[in-house]
A and B are shown apart, each in its own frame.
Chain A
Amino acid sequence: MTINPDLQGRSYPAAEVYDVGREKIREFARAVKASHPAHFDVDAARDLGHSDLVAPPTFAIIIAQRADAQLIEDPEAGIDFSRVVHADQRFTHHRPIIAGDRLVAELHVDGVRAMGGGAMVTTRSEIFALGSGGSREPVTTTTSSILVRGEGQ
């Protein structure tokens, strides 16, 4: 299977809404062995000036990987998930993710580069918080490169 080179420049609009819950922030924080009280204790988060629990710096991967799934599962893309290796990852936070946020992600395919028999695919998720009246506030930009290994790689 080969990667479709026409993927570059493609984008996938925001699909489902991700509701950020307190227990999910606590679960994710425990899973990455984080112990900062602002992930667990609402009063501790408020003492730092936040309205509710603060998500760990890599929490946005949950939303970004859901957005990436649209591309990986797109039959036109030609990506074999069992041959995918995560090559790099970046999070740029315009503001922290806070419990109670309602987030959506727009996925952009920024690069497709042939490498050996495989390809390096770079995607970017623009994550926004939905406000009342349909407003959208930029929250986090994530960029990720995956290497899709070719046969014998």
Chain B
Amino acid sequence: MSPSIHELSPGQEIGSRTIEVTRTDLVKYAGASGDFNPIHWNEAFATSVELPGVIAHGMFTMGSAVQLVTDWAGDPAAVVDFQTRFTKPVLVTDTTGTDQPGASIEVSGLIGKLDAEANTARIDLTVVSAGQKVLMKAQALVKLS
């Protein structure tokens, strides 16, 4: 059950979440999504195209960030619109064989705007990795109950 508009006000926080990412996670995302661009799993290829190393798929970051909204909304189907700009890559170091993540993505969200007529809330996400905003204008529109 998604929240009711009467309980909400702009600026209200909906929570935060830290997503730990490993090279294995990128391989799993490649398989699940069908995006096998080697910049997301092969260090030599990534550096040959002038990247600092293996980077996460932008769509991995976007897709994992929205779960904060899905869980808050109570129903994944309530997320009727979701958009972002990709500003910085998430560099994922190779920590294979250890229990350390290769990168951490910190996601937090707040209510950006309420639309009483459409009965929707716009959630504005802040998505940071290694101290830099990796997504900009990450906004999810949630249909309220």
Contact = CB atoms under 8 A, between A and B. Distances in A.
Interface of A: 24, 27-28, 30-36, 38-39, 48, 50, 54-58, 61-62, 65-66, 81-83, 85-93, 95-96
Interface of B: 19, 25, 28-29, 31-35, 37, 49, 58-60, 62-64, 66-67, 69-71, 74-77, 79-86, 140
Contacts of B37: 81
A101 to B, nearest CB: 13
25 contacts: A31-B25, A32-B29, A32-B63, A33-B67, A38-B75, A48-B74, A48-B75, A50-B77, A54-B77, A56-B63, A57-B70, A61-B33, A62-B33, A62-B34, A65-B33, A66-B34, A81-B37, A86-B59, A88-B83, A88-B85, A88-B86, A89-B59, A89-B86, A90-B84, A96-B76
B58 A86 contact: yes
A38 B33 contact: no
B19 A54 contact: no
Contact of B70 (A56, A81, A86): A56
B47 to A, nearest CB: 13
Nearest to B35: A65
Given A56-B76, A93-B80, A96-B76, A32 B64 contact: yes
Contact of B28 (A31, A55, A83): A31
Nearest to B28: A31
A82 B74 CA distance: 39
Contacts of B63: 31-32, 34, 56-58, 61
B80 A89 contact: no
B3 to A, nearest CB: 15
A96 B77 contact: yes
A93 to B, nearest CB: 5
A93 B35 CA distance: 22
